[in-house]
Amino acid sequence: MKRAMLPRLLPTALIAGFALLLSACGFTPLYGPQSVTKGLGAIEVVAPEGRAGYLLREKLEDALARDVNVLPSHRLVYTVKEQRYARGVRVDNVANRYELNLTADWRLLDAKTGQQVRAGSAAAAVTYDSADQPYASIAAQQDSQERAAAEVARKIQLDLAAWLAGKAA
């Protein structure tokens, strides 16, 4: 019975030993015991008009794990720029592949003073096929907007998490 438990305990022991080794070197994980999760959860996201702005707000609120029971310490405001380029052309000179570039220029404002405490820009480029059927083409374009918004939200989340971790240190 003890021999059967060894394979299950070995990975846990290795992870714990690795974490101890890294902490001895001064490494602290971003989402460790002194987590930045509370700081990210207190950021209110203010979205601009439009589908891309709305999608990005949804993805950001998910990525930041917004806690609606906590008063916001910061407000994240952003503008969204969307560009679409034809990348593939059929023999009859009709585009069948597109590239969607989504760029968000964002600012993090202190909720009390309204002063800017951090700013940045995040971009993502995704491609999609355009079908001959109108509905399929619209669905593909909307899916590409969602994928681009998810990638931009992830980049903003990582930037803010690193900034909050640096402030806490």
The model's pLDDT over 77-133, given as tens digits with 9 standing for 90+, comes to 999 999 999 887 777 777 788 899 999 999 999 999 999 999 999 999 999 988 778
At 9-65, the pLDDT tens digits run 545 555 555 555 555 555 555 555 446 677 888 899 999 999 999 999 999 999 998
More confident residue, 155 or 88: 155
Average pLDDT, integer, range 128-148: 90
Helix ranges restricted to H, the chain: 2-24, 37-41, 51-64, 134-168
In this predicted structure, the answer to whether residue 76 has a pLDDT above a threshold of 70 is yes
Strand pairing of 74-89 and 95-110?
antiparallel
Task: Identify which of 93, 37, 48, 103 has the alpha carbon closest to the alpha carbon of residue 70.
Answer: 37
Instruction: Specify the pLDDT at position 47.
Output: 92
Average pLDDT, integer, range 134-151: 93
pLDDT band, very low/low/confident/very high, at 153 (cuts 50, 70, 90):
very high
71 near 101, Cβ under 8 Å? no
